[in-house]
Each structure stands twice: as structure tokens, then as C-alpha cells.
Structure 1
Amino acid sequence: MQLALTKSKITLKNENLPYPLEWLDLLITITFNPHRTDIASINNDQLNHILNRVPKENLRLQSLIKSQIFSSNNEEEITLLIKQYHSSLIALLDHTLENQNSSSQKSNLENVYKVLISNIDELLSFIETRFPHHLSPEERVPKTYLSVTQQKLKKKLQKLESINSNSSTSNPAFEIVMTRLYHFLNTPCLRYQVTFRDVFYKKTLVRGLENIDWTKEQKEAYSHLDELLIYLNYNSKAYINLLTNHLAEKINDCDTAREKMDMLLYYYKAFKQLHRKPKVILNPNYHDLETVLGNWFTQEILYLEKKLHLSVVPLQSKKENPVEKQSTAKEKQKVLCMLSTDQMGLIFRASDELRILVAKSMSQVFKTIVPHLSTPYKEDLSYDGMRSKSYVAEERDKQLAIETLERIIKKIKEY
């Protein structure tokens, strides 16, 4: 059913047109265009018909887009189709707002304009949520589209604030996120060009905030908000500093260096196991959150390892007769291993977990074996340091350990 209005009369006609947005396009560019149509001639029955038809058209277009996408195997065609729908809907949104500002019959048509804007925005959100990888994220956002998006997000933020205002304790991370979002929404002239990537990220972030159950008690290592921000690569310097300070406080609450190390490794393991959304980042001009946090954990672990080593060495040192010390050193012969401590640690850890090497604990395995080993670069090895590093080994060390074991397998096959 196509609705066409002119200055003199209104006509209804059925046509099968190849342009999917034909009905919506004519409605906005002609029917409700005060420069081309006598809007005063539209009666209430016709308005009600339009108000009922617009949501149905919305659902029809969503279904049509999905069927067109799934019926095509050509990625280039799909990308072109999505871009055409997206740009056409933005143009219609711009035109609707222009009509709204130009119309002198605002009291009569205000509800129609609201329904049109709402449904077009819903169609845009549908495309952006279902097919984001087919859109060009670095393209500049039109001002009208940005304005509508900002107004919609403001309403959602106000609801989120009202929910969190009932909480007995303030959430510094939530305040950092809200401050940044409000700056994006309220600043008329931002210092950078707003792209679709910025808008998509903010929409995804707000949608994630809405899905959090703020009343649920937190039992995991990281809060639900932290999990969301880590998932979305929220690499804000303010948030990263807040998170590292919070982790440092938790770790420093432990009494001994060994307890601190266990707590640090627990948080690092939990951090590495959290989900990440691919190709998403708040600030593309700064390092990934995972890179910065991973470096922080690595440095903290190395620092505690050295601290543990220094605390153990004085207990082992005692005044000995130089002759006795020399003879003891001669008696204690070590096996030179051409692997690094990190690579040896990985092999010993795997052997313990597979019960190839059986002892009371993993620490006992390292404590028994490591004192009898040396490397080309180090004579005395720390069994506790090697054990700790086996939990945070780099990919390069894993690969070299695997290659070494494969060489051993190959050699055994030759026997």
C-alpha cells in the first residue's frame, strides 16, 4: 500500500516497487514535507492509518534486510547493500527532522514525527547491531544523526544514574564512565571529528551498562562493570589507573610477600580469562587495555619475585669456613641445561600436572630439582622464581619448550 498526497487530494494505490524504502521515502519527502504538500488537508483517520503503518513497515524492512543478506553469498554485495540501507535511512532521518522544524502544524503532527524518528532510529540500530562489520566505522557522522543519537543516549544515562543513586556505596569506575559519556553527549563542539566508530562504541557501552544487574552481589575477582569495560577494551587512562590502584590495595592487604604473590597471580589469571570483543577500542590512539594491564601485572610479579628471592637468600647464608665452603661447592655438581628458566619451568609444571613427576606439591618438584641445575647465563637458580614464571610464560618460551620436546620425541624414535 502506497500513500501519496498532493496539494489538491490524497490517493492510495498498490504498487510493487523495487526500491524497498519507497513507502517511507514518499511519506517523508512528499506527504509530510510542508514545502510540497498541504499538510493541513491530512485528517485524523489518515494520520492514524500512518501511525499504525509505520511500525509494521519497520518490521517488514527488518525482515526484508535479513532475507536479502542471507540469500546472498557475495560479501561485497552484502556490504554495499548494508551501506545503502544505512545511508538512505540517515538521509530520511535528516529529512524528517527538517520537516518537523519547518512544519507550522506541530500540535497536529508532533506524534507522527516522533513515531517516524523512533522507527527510523530503530532500523538504524538494527543494522548497526546486526551488521556492524559491513559499515565504514571511520566515516564522519552527520550532525542530525548524531543529535538524535545523543538525545536517545541521554535518556538511557538518566535511568542508569537513578538506579545507581539508590546504591549505598559509590562506584568510582561508574563515575568515570558516566563523566566521559556525558562529555561526549553534552559538548556541542568536540575537539575531534565524530565517526561512526565513536557512536557505535558508545551505543554498545550504554547497552552493556543497561544489562548489568547492579543489585547482584559480586563474588568474582572483577566486578560486573570491570568485566564489561575489559570486554569493550575501555582503555581510558583514568580507568586503568583506578583499576591498578584497586588491585594494588587488595594485594597489599596480604601480610607476607608469598601471600601477595599468590593474590597477584590469582588476579592475573582471572584477568587473562575474561572475554574480549575483537576489534573494539575506546581510544584507538592509545594502547589496548590488555597491553597496559598485562605489563602492569608482569612488572609486579617480577618485583615480588625479586623480593621473595632476597628474603630467602639471607636465611641460607651463614658464616662458613672457606675451606668447607669450597669443598661443599665441589661436591655439589650441577647439570647444565641449555633451556632458559622460563622454558624449564613450563616443562616441570606440565610434568607435575600430568603426574609424570610425583611429589607432595608442585613447589616440592621445583625445590628438589632446580638446585641441581644451572644455565649458561646463571649458576644458581631460584626454584620459587622458576615456579612463579611457569604461570606467566611468554608465547616465545612456550614455543621453544614445545620445539625442544619435539626434538626429544624425534630422537627417541631413532633409537
Structure 2
Amino acid sequence: MQQHYLLSYFEKLVRIDLKTQSQNNQQPDTKYLSAVISEATRQKEIFLEDFGRQLYSVGKKKQADWHVQSHQHLLIQLMDQAIEHLEVGDILNSTDPPPANTWRHLYRFLYLTLAEILSFIETEFPRHMDIECKIPDAYLYLVQGEFTATMKLLQEKADEGQVDPLLVPVLHQPFEELLCAEHSRLFVSYSHLHYLTKLSKRIKKILDHSRRGQELTESIETELHFLNFNSVAYFLYWTGRTGREIELLPTSRERLSRLIYLQKKVSQTHVKPGICLNRLHGTLQSQLLSWISVEIAYQEKNESISATLHSTGELDRWKDFKVQTRFSVPQMGAILKLLYDAGFYLNQNKTELLDFFSFFFTSVKQDTVSSQSLRSHFYKESAAVSKSIREILGELINVSHKGVSVLFYFAWNFYIFHDFLLSVDGVVAL
């Protein structure tokens, strides 16, 4: 068919002629080698000149897509067959080229020629390509160095304590197969390679431009959310860490507040459209929001169950109750601060402690104490207030001494009365 005509020479050469010639001859004939190189070069130039013209003569987009993709698939098959006869160094240009009078030299020339044609299609007609098509095996060798460097730098930052070490294997996982030395039968699509290449570059950029003490883990996670890194391993990592953080919070109200904040943060995170790690999974954003919603429902239910432990009548009884005091608000804040710092109050949450006193206690001048005002005086230093607190403590000491004196008076009188009774008993006995 006309659509395959431009590659018919390469297809026959790689699949039939070279196999036959290499089996029958240990080394290629010089004239044969020269003729193949000359004709392959000519066929490449014909392809580069005529392919676009053929494409635009097709007309409909569906037919144009098929025209590009059929050539794309065939080129990839021929490139994979060609590199079976090459070494990794031949692909990476990291070794000296093979001797000119060898089959390896000819296969390397054909591989580079086919790669140039494919690169032309990728550059000029990307919208017609099959992005879910398998990439040439050679591409995997070409990206290994970049991926390895990124993963090595990530591990170094984790060893220095700048990146959460639990995040490293999560990020390493999608690159594992691609970092292997051999790629036989490994299917990697254009879209997947494009995603991993972008991910590797963005992570490396974050790590390269970081400063010591900067929170790298958060920066990397922001990038993962932007790139829709919908890996099962990352979902388990994020939810596991967040779940542990939530459980460490002392009250249901704080846990709910944190979850609602995370829900807002995840919802408002910008996500790059049309990109993901795994097309078979839901988006990372939808997975995390679903998990957060379940956690919020659980915490609300748990809070509701805890509230029912007290009867409605019991709660109503204390709804309007206030402990009336002679303290001013500044004095109340200062004495609470004194008792808290001295360790007499064991509550770790200062906010809840101050909210409790503002709700159930009154000052000498006002029946309602603002929690914000009480909090302000809790942290505020004032010489006048400190002096008044010392006077109050002095009064308490005096009251305590009076209590001891009265007790001593009654004890002393009891002792005198007891001796008196004994003396009376003695007189009576006489």
C-alpha cells in the first residue's frame, strides 16, 4: 500500500536481507556495505521530503492519524530489531564506533537512520501520533542516566535529613524497571515516558535549587499533586502520614479542624490537565478528597457518640452556670499563667483551658469573659498585675495561717480540759 511504500526498503532490508547476508557471511562485503549505506541515505531523504505531502493529501484527520501511526509503529519495530545486534555503548555513543567492515557498524547506521526518521515524525506531527504506543527500546537506555542522577540526588537529600526517607521508595518505584540494564519485553508508552521524564526534571530542579533547612518534602509533594502522581504507593504514604498526624491531636475539634483545612488545601491545589502517572487509576486529587471526606465523617460520628455519654439534662444544668470571682480579667489571666507554668494544670492544650475558664468564670467587673481577652492577658506581662497577684497570694497565706491558728487553739484547749478532768478525777479519788 502507498502509505507503507516509504518504509518498504527499510522493512525488507532489516527483516530479510540483512538476516540472510549476516548468516551467510561473517563480514559484509565492502561493495554491499557501501551500496546499503548509500541507498538507505537516499530513502531517508525521500521519506523526509514526501511524508508530509502524502499526509496532507489524505484529507480527513482519522485517516491522517492512521497514516502517521502506521509509520510510527513500523519504525519502532525496525529500530528494536536493529538494536538487537548492538551494544548499549553504540546507542549512547559512549564507546568508539564499531569497525566499518562489520555487521554491527551497518546495524548501527540503520538504527541511527531510522531514529532520525522517527524523530522527524515526533517533531513535525505529534498530534497525529499514538501516545499509548510502545516506545523504541533504545529510548529507555537514553533516559537511564538522567533518571539515575535524579534518584541518587534524592537519596542524598534524604540521608541529609532534608527529605522524608519514606518518600524516597515511593518516588523510586515508577523508575525501577526503567533503571534496569536490560529492557527485553518491557512495555513503556510514549505518554508514560513523557510523564516520568517531566517528573524527573521537576524533582531534580527542586533538589538542585534547594537551600539547607528548606522544607523539600513539602515542595516535592506539591509538585506530585500538580503532576497528578496517582500512585497507589503515594496514596498510602500520604494517607498513612496524615492519619498519624490526626491521631496525635488531643481533641476531636482539632482533628476535624485539621481535616477541613486539608480538604480545602487539596481542593485548591492546581493540577496540570491531561497528565497522570497511571491512566487506570482515578486522579490523585479525587482519591485524597474521598479519603479526607471519610475521615471527617468518622470524626464527626465519633464526636457525636462522645457527646451522648452525657445526658441532655446534665448538660443543660451547667449551660448558664458561672463561677463568680473577685478577679479582674488581667488577674485571672495572670494567675492561670502562674498555675500553668508551675505545673498545677496538666492540660497540654492552652487554648481549650482558656476557653473553659472564659466560659464558666466571671470577673469582678463583667459577667462574660472574652476568651480572646483572657488569652491576651495570659501571655501579657504587667508589673501592676503581678503585684496584685502577689497581694492575693499573700491573703491566701494569711487565711491559711488563720486556719492553722484556730486549729491550734482548739487543740490546746482540749489538752488543758483533758488535764483538768484528770485532776478532778484525782481529787475525787482522794
Deviation of 1:240 after TM superposition, in Å, equals 1.5
Between 1:177-186 and 1:81-90, the stretch displaced more is 177-186
Q: Which residue of 2 aligns with 1:107?
A: 99
Deviation of 1:297 after TM superposition, in Å, equals 1.0
Q: Which residue of 1 aligns with 2:237?
A: 242
Contact 1:231 1:275 in 2 (8 A): yes
Contact 2:76 2:136 in 1 (8 A): no
Change (3 A) 1:223 1:315: farther
Alignment of 1:215 with 2:197, yes or no, is: no
Q: Percent identity over the alignment?
A: 16
The one-letter code of the counterpart of 1:211 is: K
Q: Which residue of 1 aligns with 2:170?
A: 176
More helix per residue: 1 or 2?
2
Q: Which residue of 1 aligns with 2:82?
A: 96
CA distance in 2: counterparts of 1:159 and 1:220, whole angstroms: 17
Change (3 A) 1:223 1:115: farther
| Partner residue of 1:292 out of 287, 293, 299 | 287
Change (3 A) 1:114 1:41: closer
Alignment of 1:159 with 2:149, yes or no, is: yes
Query: 1:223-238 to 2 correspondence within 5 Å?
Result: 223-224=219-220, 227-228=223-224, 231-236=227-232, 238=233
Alignment of 1:306 with 2:308, yes or no, is: no
Contact 1:89 1:124 in 2 (8 A): yes
Change (3 A) 1:31 1:227: same
Alignment of 1:87 with 2:73, yes or no, is: yes
The one-letter code of the counterpart of 1:175 is: P
The one-letter code of the counterpart of 1:247 is: T
Q: Which residue of 2 aligns with 1:117?
A: 111
Deviation of 1:203 after TM superposition, in Å, equals 0.8
Query: 1:16-415 to 2 correspondence within 5 Å?
Result: 19-21=5-7, 35=21, 39-41=28-30, 61=48, 74-97=60-83, 100=86, 106-108=98-100, 113-114=107-108, 116-117=110-111, 120-121=114-115, 124=118, 131=126, 134-135=129-130, 137=132, 147-167=137-157, 168-169=160-161, 170=163, 171-183=165-177, 186=180, 198-212=188-202, 213=205, 214-217=207-210, 223-224=219-220, 227-228=223-224, 231-236=227-232, 238-252=233-247, 254=249, 256-272=251-267, 273-275=269-271, 277-278=273-274, 280=276, 282=278, 284=280, 289-307=284-302, 318=314
Could you report, residue by residue, the CA deviation over 1:235-291 in whole angstroms, capped at 9, with x for unpaired residues? 32x22211111223444565554443333233223323331553855273x655444
Deviation of 1:302 after TM superposition, in Å, equals 1.4
Query: 1:3-22 to 2 correspondence within 5 Å?
Result: 19-21=5-7
Deviation of 1:301 after TM superposition, in Å, equals 1.5
SS at match of 1:107: coil
Contact 1:231 1:276 in 2 (8 A): yes
Normalised to the residue count of structure 1, the TM-score between the two structures is 0.50
Change (3 A) 1:132 1:301: farther
The one-letter code of the counterpart of 1:35 is: Q
Contact 1:96 1:116 in 2 (8 A): yes
SS at match of 1:35: helix
Deviation of 1:224 after TM superposition, in Å, equals 3.0
CA distance in 1: counterparts of 2:55 and 2:201, whole angstroms: 28
Contact 1:233 1:277 in 2 (8 A): no
The one-letter code of the counterpart of 1:76 is: K
Structure 1, gaps ≥5 residues long: 1-16, 322-415
Alignment RMSD: 5.3
CA distance in 2: counterparts of 1:83 and 1:300, whole angstroms: 47
CA distance in 1: counterparts of 2:258 and 2:109, whole angstroms: 54
Structure 2, gaps ≥5 residues long: 88-96, 318-430
Structure with the greater alpha carbon radius of gyration: 2
SS at match of 2:208: coil
CA distance in 1: counterparts of 2:253 and 2:128, whole angstroms: 46
CA distance in 1: counterparts of 2:305 and 2:70, whole angstroms: 66
SS at match of 2:231: coil
CA distance in 2: counterparts of 1:162 and 1:66, whole angstroms: 43
SS at match of 1:278: coil
Q: How many equivalent residue pairs?
A: 289
Normalised to the residue count of structure 2, the TM-score between the two structures is 0.49
CA distance in 2: counterparts of 1:262 and 1:70, whole angstroms: 59
Change (3 A) 1:117 1:228: farther
Change (3 A) 1:33 1:91: same
The one-letter code of the counterpart of 1:162 is: K
